[in-house]
Structure 1
Amino acid sequence: MLLIIVGGIGFLTWDDICTHGLHLRRYRMQSKVILSATALLITIPAFLFYLTDFADLPVGERALASLFQAVTPRTAGYNTVDLTKMSDTSQAVTILLMLTGGAPGSTAGGMKVTTLAVLIANAAAAFHRREDSRLFDRRLDYSAVRNAAAILLLYLSLTFVGAAVISEVEGLPLGACLYETASAAGTVGLTLGLTPQLGTLSQSILILLMFFGRVGGLTLIYAAFSGHDLTYARYPKEMITVG
C-alpha cells in the first residue's frame, strides 16, 4: 500500500515533501490538493468497505482488507479478496475510484484527483454564488475548470458507452461491464473475471479504453482538435438556464 501511494501522488508532490518537509504552508497548492484528496479517497472508501464487506474476517484482517481495497483501485490493481463477493455498493465505489486515479505526473492513470478537486471546487463556487472557484485560498484559472469538465465528460462517456456495447453484445449485466471498462480506462487491472470470457469485439473495446487511459484524456482531445485554426472572433452572448 505504501508503494502504491508513493507512486500515485506524483513527482511534484514529492519535490515539495523533500524540499519543505513538514512545513505544509510552503507547499504548492496542487500538492496540498493531492495530499488532501488522497487521504480522503483512502479513508472514506475504507470505512465504507469495512461496514459493508469482509464480515467473515477477524477485525484486524477486515480493517486491513478494507484499507487495501481502498488504496489499490486508483493505480495498482492488486486484490487481496474475492472482488465478486463485494457488495454492489462497494463495487460502485470501486468504479469511481478507478476512474479518479492518482495525481498528475505520477505512475497512476485515471482522470486524476486534481480534476475531481477542481470540479468539486467549481460546484462549491456555484452553490455559494461565487464567480471564482477556490482551493486553499487560491483562485483557480477558468481554463482548469473547463479542462476538468471536458476530461470528466470524456471518461464517463467512453466508459459508459463501452460498457453498454459490451453488455448488449455479451448479454452481461451493465454494472459488471462498467467495472471492466472503468478498470481499463483507469489502467488499473482489476476485474470481476469477465474479460477472459469476452468476445473479440468486447476485448477490442477494452484494448482501446486501456490505450486511451494510458495516453490521457487531454492528449487525445488536443490531438483531435489541434488542426483547427484558432480564431479571436466571439459570438454574441446569451444566457441559458441549467439545473
Structure 2
Amino acid sequence: MSLAGRVRLSLTRRRLSPPAVLAVIYGAFICVGALVLWLPVSNSGDVTLSDAVFTAASAVTVTGLVVVDTGSDFTLLGQIVIALLIQVGGLGLMTFAALLLSMLGVSIGMPQRLVLRDELGQTSLTELGALVRAVIMVALLCETAGTLILMTVFVPEFGWAEGTWQAIFHAISAFNNAGFSLFPDSLTGYVGDPVVTITISLLFMIGGLGFVVLTDLYRMRRWRKLSLHSKLMLTGSAVLILTGWVLVAALEWDNPGTLGALEGTGTKLLASWFQAVTPRTAGFNSLDYAEMETSTTLMTMTMMVVGGGPTSTAGGIKVTTLIVLILATIAFFRKQERLHVFGRSLGLEEVMKVLALTTVSLFLVLAGLFLMSITYEGDFLDMVFEVTSAFGTVGLSRGATGELSEAGRAVIIVMMFFGRLGPLTLGFFLAVRSQPRVRYPEGQVFLG
C-alpha cells in the first residue's frame, strides 16, 4: 500500500475526522518532499533544510513562492521531485490513492470515501469514482497537449532534451496552478510570445475552472443543460477575467516599469491579459509586480483572494463563494428569503457555508498579517501582497519572499497549507457537533 494509504488507514483507525486526515497526509508529503529535496543529489549544494521545507510546502500546496531558483539550485532529480509534488498536490493526494486502489482492484471503504469527498469538495459520496477518473483524464490530456505546444518554442531554443523537459515542467506547473518556473524571472522573457503566454494561461484557466465544470461541459455541451454550479463558474470567471484585463491595461498602459516599457499595442494587450488571469492562483508573471501601480496591486490581491473554482487546482475562497455573497447581499436589501439565479434558488445552508468560509478566510489572512508584521521589516504593501498570495496559493511576489526570516517563512508555510486545504477544512477540524439540550427564546441584535 502507498504511503498515503498507510497513513490514511492508521489515522482512520484512530477515528480522526476526514479534514484532519487530509491535513496530516499533506503534512507528511511536505516532510518527505523536503527531505528528498535536501539530499545532495537533488540540489546544487546551496539549498538548506529551511529552503527545502519551504520549496516542498510551496509545491505540495501548488503555490509557487520560492526562496531559491528552481532552475539552477535544484538538479534534474530535484526538479522532477518538485514536478511530482506539484502534480500530486494539485490533483489531490487522495485522488491518486483512490486511483491506485481501484487499479489494484481494492474497494474503497466508507472512511476513505469521506476523506476523498472532502478533498474533492463534494457534498455527496455518489459518483466519486467517476470524478476521480475524470480528474486524472483531464489532467493528462491537458498537460500532454500543453507540453507538445510549448515544445515548439522551447526545443528550438534549448535543444531536444532540455527543451522537452522545460515544456513538461511548465505544462504540469501551469495546469496545477502552481506557478513554478525553471526560469529565474518566471516568464518575463516571453512577455511578447503568444504561444507561451496563451498556452500557459489556457492551462491554468482550465485547471482553475474545476473538474466538475469540465465534466459537465463534456457531458451536456449546451448552456441550458449545464448545472447551476457550472453556469455560475463560467459566468463569474468570464466577468472577473474581462474586468481584470481592462483594468490592468488601463492602469499600467503608460507605466514605464511594466506595460509602458513594451513596444506595440498587441504586446501590451497580451501582457495585460496574462497579468489579469494569473492572479487566479496561477502564480506565473511576465511583468515585474514590484513595479506595478498601487491600484493594480490592490486589484491583484483581490483576485488572489477570490481564486478559481471548487474541485479545481486553484486556491482562494472560490468564484462561487463570491457570487453567493453578492447574491445574498442583493437578497437582503430586497428582503428575499431565498437567493434566485439562472432559474434556481439557493437556501440558507449555502449562505451559512459561504459566510463561514469568508469569516475563516478573513481571520486567517488577518492572523497571518499580524504574525508577519512582527517578523518582517520591509514594505507593508509587499508584506500584505505576500500573505495574500500565500493564502490564495498564487505564488506571485513583489520581492518579499527572499527577505523572509525563518519565522516569516513558517508563517507563509502555514498560510499556504491552510490555503490549499481550504478554510472550511480548518473549521470542520475544529468544530464539534452537538445537539442543544435547551431551546432559548429569540433575541434581537441591532446590526449595521
Please, what TM-score do these two structures have when normalized by structure 1? 0.94
SS at match of 1:210: helix
Q: 1:229 to 1:55 in 2, by over 3 A?
A: same
1:241 matched to 2:446: yes
Letter in 2 for 1:51: A
How far the C-alpha of 1:154 sits from its partner, in A, is 1.5
Asked if 1:45 corresponds to 2:244, the answer is yes
Match of 2:428 among 204, 222, 235: 222
What is the CA distance between 1:198 and its match in structure 2?
1.2
Q: CA deviation at 1:233?
A: 4.3
Which has the higher mean CA deviation after the structures are superposed, 113-122 or 143-152? 143-152
Q: 1:50, 1:234 → 2: CA distance? A: 56
Q: Which residue of 1 aligns with 2:210?
A: 10
RMSD of aligned C-alpha atoms? 1.4
**Contact preservation (8 Å) 1:163, 1:174:** no
Letter in 1 for 2:435: L
CA contact (8 A) 2:378 2:400 kept: no
Q: Please say if 1:25 is aligned against 2:230.
A: no
Partner residue, 2:289: 83
Is this contact kept in 2: 1:104–1:112, CA < 8 A? yes
Percent identity over the alignment is 37
1:128-168 Cα distance to aligned partner (Å, 9 max, x none): 22121222221112111111111112212221231233234
Deviations 1:8-56 (A, max 9, x none): 11111112211121x2011100000000010011000110000011233
CA contact (8 A) 2:304 2:389 kept: yes
1:164-217 per-residue CA deviation (whole Å, 9 max, x = no partner) reads 332343233332211101111111111111111111111111010011011111
Question: Which piece of structure 1 moves more, 227-236 or 45-54?
Answer: 227-236
For structure 1, which segment, 153-162 or 47-56, has the greater mean C-alpha deviation from structure 2 after superposition? 153-162
SS in 2 for 1:134: strand
User: TM-score w.r.t. structure 2 length?
Assistant: 0.52
CA radius of gyration, larger in = 2
Can you give the 5+ residue segments of structure 2 that lack an aligned partner in the other structure?
A: 1-200, 253-258
- Determine the structure 1 residue equivalent to 2:36: none
1:203 aligns with 2:409: yes
**Residue 139 of structure 2 corresponds to which residue in structure 1?**
none
Gaps of 5+ in 1: none
| Aligned partners of 1:99 and 1:182 also within 8 Å | yes
Q: Which 10-residue stretch deviates more, 161-170 or 183-192?
A: 161-170
Q: Aligned equivalents of 1:233 and 1:142: distance in 2?
A: 23
> How far does the alpha carbon of each residue in 1:89-121 deviate from its partner, in whole angstroms, 9 at most, with x for none?
111111111111111111111111111111010
Distance 1:134 1:233 in 2: 34
Shift of 1:232: 6.4
Counterpart amino acid of 1:124? Answer: I
1:74 corresponds to: 280
| Corresponding residue pairs, total | 241
User: Given that residues 74 and 100 in structure 1 are in contact (C-alpha distance below 8 angstroms), is that contact kept between their aligned partners in structure 2?
Assistant: yes
